[in-house]
Amino acid sequence: EKTRDRFIEVAGLGRAYNTGDVVLQDEAGSFHWIGRADFQVKVRGNRIELEYLEHAISNVSGVTHCEARVVGGGARLVLLASGDGVTEDMLREAASKLGRAYELSYVKLVPSSIWTFTVNGKLKRNEVPLEEEA
């Protein structure tokens, strides 16, 4: 029954299976994977995808790792990032291109060595400590 509920009708495409993946379709009709809907959160009353933000930030020149978080009961969107030559202004500019809902309240640049990973090489979320001002 759960599987049956995952099938949806998509205008122009017909029946499709909702995998939970977030994609964007470009002008040529190609789909580009952005992330999973599992990381959808509400910030200042707006629903956003943390992986969408992280994907955009990871494309900033020099960024090696990044993680977006929501703190303050959904009042603040914070970003932790590391990389060579990366500045807070570069990260804020990349986030601003995603729209007002992705406006960063706090950016923390951290050394690359601070990140921890699972045995599968995935970033362990919420491991890097934040200061109280975040």
> Residue 68: inside a domain, yes or no?
yes
Q: Which pTM was predicted?
A: 0.71
> Residue 133: inside a domain, yes or no?
no
Specify the residue for token string 């020149």: 61
Query: Do the Cβ atoms of 3 and 20 come closer than 8 Å?
Result: no
Domain count, the chain: 1
pLDDT along the chain (134 residues), means of 10: 77 81 84 72 87 94 96 91 96 95 94 94 89 60
SS (H, E, C) 101-131: HHCCCEEEECCHHHCCECCCCCECCCCCCCC
Q: What is the pLDDT of residue 54?
A: 95
**What whole-number distance in Å separates Cα of residue 101 and Cα of residue 95?**
9
Q: What is the pLDDT of residue 74?
A: 85
Specify the residue for token string 């029946």: 15
Q: Which pairs from 116-121 meet CB under 8 Å and 24+ separation? A: none
Q: What is the pLDDT of residue 25?
A: 83
> Residue 30: inside a domain, yes or no?
yes
Domain limits for position 16: 2-114
Question: Which CATH number belongs to the domain containing residue 106 in this structure?
Answer: 3.30.300.30
Residue-wise over 18-55: b if at least 16 C-beta within 10 A, else e? eeeebeeeeeeeeeeebbeeebeeebeeeebbbbbbbb
